[in-house]
């Protein structure tokens, strides 16, 4: 990337880094950085060098992009004064109370205050949006909406998910695939077997989905997504929903996947991962304006109050154990682009991009 004669492009991250290394001075007397919790270290360094007055606006508990290298600027910066903005005008006191319960788990002593002029509730609802932690449960929700005749809008271009399903198709046809998390696997059966092991548990949800629905139906379902203007319901991951809002929101039950550390040496890492799960849950809960439907979740995470939940949501996640039998769904799938086959010799990938898409 440093050689102008080479074909590899520099990329936008490289341009940003070069700009930061040039020690630029921004011609302004006043600079306000919004969404400061998701700022990268390069931009933080540039801002520290400015002579202008700096104001950082952000929520340290909405920092949800650690997995791609972002740092929490609210923890890294030093200022002369701090002002807490604790009242939300998006929702009423009931949703604010649920959000405050999550914040207490994160060590926050100042509660979130809702808009007293708004009525909100925690309980079952007819959702305008369904949010999931993982793309696997996004697909589950998408198929369930199609089954009941609701027009869904699937947020994002979902290219990564399509490529993974094309990778499944290649493995089932006996071809190797260049999908990163399938490196080293020579057949779909080997992926299914690997998902049954402790090392492969991050693949379990996706394998269940493919085994029960079939990759053809999943690809077809993705292509049934309509524009948001045409849609009757929006389906998204919590990451893609950040910064957005809907009247009524239902959460899938794949949030708060908190596990006990298996060894003392893993405790610090596990605590960081637990905090990240809580922050993502907090972001998801605060997308609703009038009603939020939260499933009853087990594990170490604190569950919602039983009185607030009248029933489980209609959209359910798949079971953890891989028991479903493969299906051969015959809906025609029109795909113009193909994943090119390539001989792979690496060992099976156990973590990385796939686990971020489909959970641990």
DSSP per-residue string spanning 22-69: T----S-SEEEESSGGG--HHHHHHHHT--SEEEE---GGG---GGGT
Q: What is the pLDDT of residue 296?
A: 66
Confidence at 37, pLDDT banded by 50, 70, 90: confident
Choose among 169, 149, 344, 324: nearest CA to 233.
Answer: 149
Q: Which residue has the tokens 């990240």?
A: 276
State the average pLDDT for the chain. 79
13-22, 119-128, 129-138, 219-228: segment of lowest average pLDDT? 129-138
Residue 140 has pLDDT above 90, yes or no: no
pTM for the full predicted model: 0.71
88-92, 228-232, 276-280: segment of lowest average pLDDT? 276-280
Q: How far apart (Å, rounded) are the C-alpha atoms in residues 45 and 35? A: 16
Q: Quick one: average pLDDT of 165-174?
A: 92
β-pairing, 288-293 vs 152-154, is unpaired
Q: How far apart (Å, rounded) are the C-alpha atoms in residues 93 and 112? A: 9
Q: How far apart (Å, rounded) are the C-alpha atoms in residues 190 and 200? A: 11
Across 7-11, 250-254, 325-329, the highest mean pLDDT is recorded for 250-254
C-beta atoms surrounding 239 within 10 Å: 21
C-beta atoms surrounding 276 within 10 Å: 16
Q: Which residue has the tokens 């992009």?
A: 65
Residue 313 has pLDDT above 50, yes or no: no
In the chain, domain spans: 12-76, 93-358
Q: Which two tokens stand for residue 304?
A: 């919602």
Residue 307 has pLDDT above 90, yes or no: no
C-beta atoms surrounding 215 within 10 Å: 23
Q: Quick one: average pLDDT of 21-39?
A: 92
C-beta atoms surrounding 229 within 10 Å: 6
Confidence at 130, pLDDT banded by 50, 70, 90: very high
Q: Give the ranges where the chain is alpha helix by DSSP (H).
A: 12-21, 41-48, 73-76, 93-105, 135-147, 159-172, 188-195, 204-213, 215-223, 238-241, 267-285, 353-358
């Amino acid at each position: 990337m440093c050689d102008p004669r080479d074909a590899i492009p520099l990329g936008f991250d490289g341009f940003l880094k070069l700009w930061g290394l040039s020690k630029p001075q921004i011609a302004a007397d006043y600079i306000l950085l919004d969404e400061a919790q998701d700022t990268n270290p390069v931009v933080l360094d540039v801002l520290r060098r400015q002579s202008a007055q700096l104001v950082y606006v952000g929520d340290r508990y909405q920092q949800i992009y650690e997995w791609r290298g972002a740092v929490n600027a609210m923890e890294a910066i030093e200022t002369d004064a701090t002002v807490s903005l604790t009242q939300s005008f998006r929702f009423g006191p009931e949703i604010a109370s649920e959000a405050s319960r999550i914040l207490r788990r994160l060590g926050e002593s100042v509660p979130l205050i809702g808009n007293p002029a708004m009525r909100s509730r925690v309980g079952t609802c007819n959702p305008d949006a369904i949010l999931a932690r993982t793309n696997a449960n996004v697909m589950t929700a998408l198929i369930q909406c199609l089954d009941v005749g609701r027009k869904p809008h699937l947020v994002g271009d979902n290219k990564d998910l399509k490529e993974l399903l094309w990778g499944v198709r290649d493995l089932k046809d006996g071809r190797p695939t260049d999908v990163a998390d399938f490196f080293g696997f020579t057949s779909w059966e080997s992926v299914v077997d690997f998902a049954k092991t402790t090392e492969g548990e991050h693949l379990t949800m996706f394998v269940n989905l493919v085994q029960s629905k079939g990759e053809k139906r999943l690809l077809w379902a993705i292509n049934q997504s309509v524009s948001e203007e045409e849609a009757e319901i929006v389906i998204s991951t919590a990451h893609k929903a950040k910064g957005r809002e809907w009247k009524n929101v239902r959460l899938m039950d794949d949030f708060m996947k908190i596990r006990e550390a298996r060894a003392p040496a893993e405790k610090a890492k596990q605590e960081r991962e637990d905090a990240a799960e809580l922050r993502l849950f907090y972001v998801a809960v605060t997308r609703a304006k009038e009603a939020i439907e939260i499933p009853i979740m087990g594990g170490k995470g604190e569950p919602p109050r039983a009185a607030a939940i009248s029933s489980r949501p209609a959209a359910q996640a798949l079971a953890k154990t891989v028991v479903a039998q493969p299906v051969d769904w015959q809906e025609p799938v029109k795909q113009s682009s193909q994943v090119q086959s390539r001989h792979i010799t690496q060992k099976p990938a156990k973590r990385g991009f796939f686990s971020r898409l489909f959970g641990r």
